[in-house]
Structure 1
């Protein structure tokens, strides 16, 4: 059944009152929100003005520092260029002195080489003349010895021939006489053969002994001939030995000549090597001097950069850092004592031994750690400030959207009626629609 007219009227009036109340409440919240946003904007504008003034002062101080740094850089660059010019002048003087010394040593070596060369050539010529004289004397001695040996050999051969002929004739005459005597004895024996056989035997024995004696004499003569032949062979052997000795002496003389030539060639090669080594040493010295100049320039540049960075860091230090550059230790007295005792102990591990060499950098690492901690703290503060800035921007955007009227704004919840996205207007449960 349809609702009664009075109840429908009450519902319409309650809905109208609710709309009026929402509109009035919206106006009140809008005014409050506008007032808060105006105050926030004033505070932000003042903070922005202060920050802008600080930034301007910082920029002015930085400009002043930059100008001072440029002036210092110009002065340092001028002094550095003057120092480099002086170093280059010193290096040029040093190179000139080294070049003069090298030229003097080279001239001395050349003079010494020429002197030694002349002496060696003169000695070589003298040795050649001496060897030629020796060869000539050896040839003359050999010819004379050969002639004498030939004459001696011929005379000995003639003597041996004459002696052998005489002995042969003598032995022939003697043997012929003996043969005649034997023949006579043989005839006598033949005649007396019949007389006495015993007498024949005795004669036969005597003849036999004489025959043996003759054979022994013949053997002795043959031995004498053999000795003469051996003497001739020994003479020939001595001549051959003298020839070999002469040839060996000539070969030794040629070997000595070749050795002298090789020694001269080695001396020439050594002189060339010494000259090449001197040239290489001069080139290496020049390259090393140039490398040293470049390394010194890099070291000076690095030192200047370190000094500039130190000066800039010194300007950026606070009063507290200037008075107390190192933060106090957070360890207790007992812990500090234990730490000192551990540091004084001899490390056993290689890494600990390597770290022992860097104990002198403890102050540097303290300041470095302090700077890193401050950097992390500033990064966190910056992140918090950025987050707060984003939140304020969001609130300002909501406020601007609340002031403007557009379909998109009307489709969204009214920001003036919401605090942290929670509406303060009481919500009533929806009424069920009547079923037809």
Structure 2
């Protein structure tokens, strides 16, 4: 019913719109004719205009009356429909309540019946179970009594038969056990004697072969040891002489290095005293400077302070009174110390050059690491600023993706200016004048971008900062590895030129046989059961000592 009424109302409204459009088109034609006749007669135009306005007023009044009557009729029908709907809704609710009560009552009755049936079935089950249990107990007691009687009879029969058997077979059983034990003892004795005889035969044969091999090996070993003894004596004499020469050379190098170190220490002490004296003189001169000298320390004495550029610079460069400046030369103890330091020994110079090279490389790596750390810190601060700016751009781009109130979906374009509308004055249609309270995101060229582009810029900046951090970490690892290598090289160098307790505690490397230690060769020959002659070789230690030098 309401749908049919609504359709009829819509049809009436369409008819009224058509008639209204027809009247409006007719009036537009009248207006066209009046405009054409306006140049012909102004009075006729005024009269026609007044009549037209009166006709429009009558038409408007008529339309207002018709709309008022239609509104009244619509409100009346609406109240009738609301009344009908309310009545039907109340009837449906009452009918639903009645049916609900009936169903609940029926459910309660069924539940009571089901509970009653369950109780009856439970009682019947308990009665039957008790009856069956009592019958089974009675039958079990009867069967137990019968079985007890049979067990007693059989037990008495077994006891009588067992006693009779023991009385008749006790003597024969005892004799059989004694004979069995004697047979087992004699069998074990025979087996032991047989095994012992076989082992004795094998041992005699093995000892005969071993005696022959031992005598032959001893003869070869004695001759080999005599030759080895002679070779070891010659090798010992050669190594002793080489060791004495190496110790002498090392002693000379150590003395030269000690003297050079003491000379360097005394020279540095003199240089430090001279530097302290120079610093004290500089402090005294600075305390005695006048105000003009503090302002321009290179100005000539009595020169004009207001001259262009730096006053007195030419005079200062010329030596003040026209005399050229003499170069700074070292005299006295400084010159003597410089001549003394130039007379160091060759060993001290070589060690100093190596240590200086290592210290220079370590300082260079330290400076490189500091510069890299500072640059990385600056890049990280810049990256944090860029990240904050990108986060603001991303938040602004996300806000630009939502259209403001009063703008439809077809008229909205994210990140660009809003179209012209009555609710947004001051905005052009082509987007050249965006609103002041609605900012836009722009790129480096000043062009507006959307939210996705701003997020892309943010991710690019974040990736750049991440890559720089990874590169910095790789540079730190490489510098640390280089420092570790230099430290290991310095440790090996110091270990090579010094004699420590660890070096003295190591095994003697002078005893070398075929590029292997004597203990290993001896142990391998003993384990193999043979004594092969080995030759003594002393070149390994010589090669090692030459490499260290």
Q: Normalising by structure 1, report the TM-score.
A: 0.29
Q: Whose Rg is larger?
A: 1
Greater percentage in helix: 1
Q: Normalising by structure 2, report the TM-score.
A: 0.23
